[in-house]
Amino acid sequence: MAQEHPSVTNFRNYVRIKTVQPNPDYASCTTYLQGQAEELGAEFQVIECIPGKPIVLMTIPGKDPSLQSILLNSHTDVVPVFPEHWKYEPFSAHKDENGDIYGRGTQDMKCVGIQYLEALKRLRKAGATFLRTIHLSFVPEEEVGGHDGMGEFVKTPIFKNLNIGFGLDEGYANPTEKFTVFYGERTPWWIFVRCPGQPGHGSQFLPNNSGMKLQKVINSFMAYREEQKKILSENKNLRLGDVTTVNLTMLEGGVQFNVVPSELSVGFDVRITPTANLTEFEEMIKRWCKEAGDDVTYEFRQKAMCQTTTCVEDGKSPWWDAFSAACKKENIQLIKEIFPAGTDSYYLRDLNIPALGFSPMNKTPILLHDHNEYLNEDIFLRGIEIYMTIIPAVANLKF
C-alpha cells in the first residue's frame, strides 16, 4: 500500500476535529491551527470578538506592506450530522479504496483551509516571497450565519488595519470537468408573518379568521415561488442564483383542534437575486399582507441588504484578471455564478472588498450539508497545485 501524502494526512486530521454545530470544539481546532502556523512560519493570533468563538489569523508579511493585502478565508465550523445515514463515522475521515475521504467538512470547507496552508508551505519551502501581505483567517460560526464570526470581525480595528484589497472564500464542487467561481450571492430575508383573526369554536364558519388570512399569505408567497421556478426551468442559461427562491419553513399557532386560534403565523426563507430591487420586493410583501387582511403584519428575523457583486469582466478588474490568468495557466475552465446560499464573502463585499468564492473541486458531486460528504484525495491534492498558482498571482499583483 502506497504511503499517504502528508498533505492528505493533514487534511484528514483536520476533519477529525469535531467543530460541529451547535457545540463546536473550537479549542482543539485553535490548538491544531497554531501548530499549522508554526509549520508555515506565519505570524499567529487569536481574536475573540465573542467569548468562546475564536478567529484564528495567520499572517505572512509582504515585501511592500503599504499595498493592500490578500485575505484567504475559511470557516472552521461544520453543520450537524445524522450518523445513521453515513457509510462511515462522519468524523473518522475514512478513506476508501478509491481514495474518497468521507467526513463532515471535507467539502464545506476544511479542504480549502488546508489547501491554502499546504500551497503556502510548498511555496515558502521553494523560496517564494510575496509583494503583498497574505492573511489566512479561520473563522467560526459561518454555518449559523457568520454574525458572531466574520460579521463581528469586520467591525474591529484589527480587521481594518489588515488593509484587505482582495479576498478568497468558499465555493462548491462542480460535477463536470469545469470549476465554478462565485462573484456574488443572493440576499437572505427571513420573514415572519402574523395573521390575527376572529377566534371561536371549531364547529363554526367564523368570518375573518386567522386560518383564512394565513392561507392567503401562503398562496401569495407560493405563487411567486412558482413564477421564479418557471423562469429558471425555461431558461437553460440561468442558474439557481439568478432567480429568487421562497420556502415556507415555519408555522406557529393553535391551541387545540376544536378552537379557532386568535393568531396563526408563518415564516419564509427568501433568497433574493442581486438583480432584484429590494425596495420593490418589500412593497410586494406589504401588498400580499394587506390583501390577506388589514391587521396582517410582517417582521424580519433577518434582513440583509448587500447586493454588491465582484467584477468578473476581463480587463475591468486587476484582481479578476490575475485570478483568471492563473486559472488559465492551470488549464481550468471557469463557470461564473451567483452563489445561491450564503458565505462569509457577504461581509467582505458589504465593505466593497472584492471577493471570489472558489473551492477547487471538479469531477465531484455537490455534497455540502449532505449525508456521506466526501472528497477524493487526488482532487484535493490537485487543488493545492491550483492555489500554488493563484495565490502568487494575486499576492504579487502590482498596481
- In angstroms and rounded to an integer, the radius of gyration of the C-alpha atoms of the chain is 24
> Which one of the listed residues 108, 142, 321, 344 is annotated catalytic?
142
Q: Is residue 101 helix, strand or coil? A: strand
Question: At 394, which helix (H) or strand (E)?
Answer: helix 377-395
CB-based contacts of 93, cutoff 8 Å, min separation 6:
11, 12, 13, 15, 16, 101, 102, 103, 106
The beta strand positions in 212-349, using DSSP E, are 245-253, 259-260, 263-272, 297-303, 334-339
Give the burial string for 53-86 (b: 16+ CB within 10 Å, else e).
bbbbbbbbebeeeebbbbbbbbbbbbbebeeeeb
How many angstroms separate the first and last alpha carbons of the chain? Answer: 49
Q: Which residue has the cell 434582513?
A: 303
Q: What are phi and psi of 354, to 5 degrees?
A: -60, 135
Q: Distance (Å, rounded) from C-alpha 282 to C-alpha 161?
A: 36
> Which one of the listed residues 77, 141, 152, 242 is annotated catalytic?
77
| 142 has catalytic annotation | yes
Question: At 193, which helix (H) or strand (E)?
Answer: strand 187-196
| 77 has catalytic annotation | yes
234 by Cβ neighbours in 10 Å (0-12 / 13-18 / 19+) ranks as exposed
Catalytically active residues are: 77, 142
